[in-house]
């Protein structure tokens, strides 16, 4: 796993090990960032269910102002912190060790770009989107990586499904406010 482009281009990132871990492939990551490339500069980013933190790190590498990384798994937070330190983004990052939905309910922060890549088959994306409708800035985008068979509604609160892309067994859905 590596940073694709930007100031940290080519830097290797650590990942978690185990059967429940699904790091975003470089192909999917390139497609995601191609879809939002003109929205990243100066953006406030949230990497929800952050895992190793690779999506938030990629956004910072491409010019995002700051990124908040949230995960309830302490091993994920440890790996994300190590990766953020490796690429030198500790000053523009905030790591939060807590349940992602609880974070969304409690935070008063608003974001321009949100990455959601939760554990599959747990119904977490729709719950997160319902809360995020009030936490995303006007024109903001939410990128959801999920299992292919998951159907998401066209509209949730002030969010509208803009596009969906299929990559093998993975689907990426882009919502916009």
Is 124 part of a structural domain of the chain?
A: yes
Residue 4 binned pLDDT confidence (cut-offs 50, 70, 90): confident
Give the pLDDT confidence score for residue 57 in this predicted structure.
97
Cβ atoms within 10 Å, residue 10: 9
Is 16 part of a structural domain of the chain?
A: no
Question: pLDDT higher for 112 or 151?
Answer: 112
| Residue among 129, 127, 125, 168 nearest 146 (CA) | 125
Is 9 part of a structural domain of the chain?
A: no
DSSP type of residue 118: P
| Beta carbons of 36 and 113 less than 8 angstroms apart | yes
Is 159 part of a structural domain of the chain?
A: yes
Is 120 part of a structural domain of the chain?
A: yes
Say which CATH number the domain at 142 has.
Answer: 3.40.50.150
State pLDDT tens for residues 155-166: 999 999 999 989
Look at the chain and report how many structural domains it folds into: 1
| Residue among 14, 92, 88, 20 nearest 53 (CA) | 14
DSSP type of residue 2: B
Is 160 part of a structural domain of the chain?
A: yes
Is 18 part of a structural domain of the chain?
A: no
Is 20 part of a structural domain of the chain?
A: no
Residue 22 binned pLDDT confidence (cut-offs 50, 70, 90): low
Domain that holds residue 139: 26-176
| Beta carbons of 10 and 3 less than 8 angstroms apart | yes
Please give the average per-residue pLDDT across 46-65, as a whole number. 96
State pLDDT tens for residues 89-144: 999 999 999 999 999 999 999 999 999 999 888 889 999 999 999 999 999 999 99
């Amino acid at each position: 796993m590596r940073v694709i482009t930007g100031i940290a281009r080519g830097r290797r990132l650590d990942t978690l090990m185990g059967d429940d871990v699904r790091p975003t492939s470089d192909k999917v990551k390139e497609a995601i960032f191609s879809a939002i490339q003109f929205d990243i500069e100066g953006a406030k980013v949230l990497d929800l269910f952050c895992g190793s933190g690779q999506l938030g790190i990629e956004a910072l590498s491409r010019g995002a102002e700051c990124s908040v990384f949230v995960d309830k798994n302490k091993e994920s937070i440890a790996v994300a912190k190590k990766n953020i330190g490796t690429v030198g983004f500790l000053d523009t990052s905030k790591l939060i060790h807590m349940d992602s939905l609880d974070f969304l309910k409690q935070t008063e922060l608003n974001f321009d770009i949100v990455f959601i890549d939760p554990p599959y088959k747990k119904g977490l994306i729709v719950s997160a989107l319902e809360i995020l409708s009030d936490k995303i800035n006007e024109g903001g985008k939410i990128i959801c990586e999920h299992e292919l068979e998951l159907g998401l509604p066209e509209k949730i609160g002030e969010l509208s499904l803009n596009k969906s892309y299929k990559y093998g067994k993975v689907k990426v859905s882009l919502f916009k406010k």
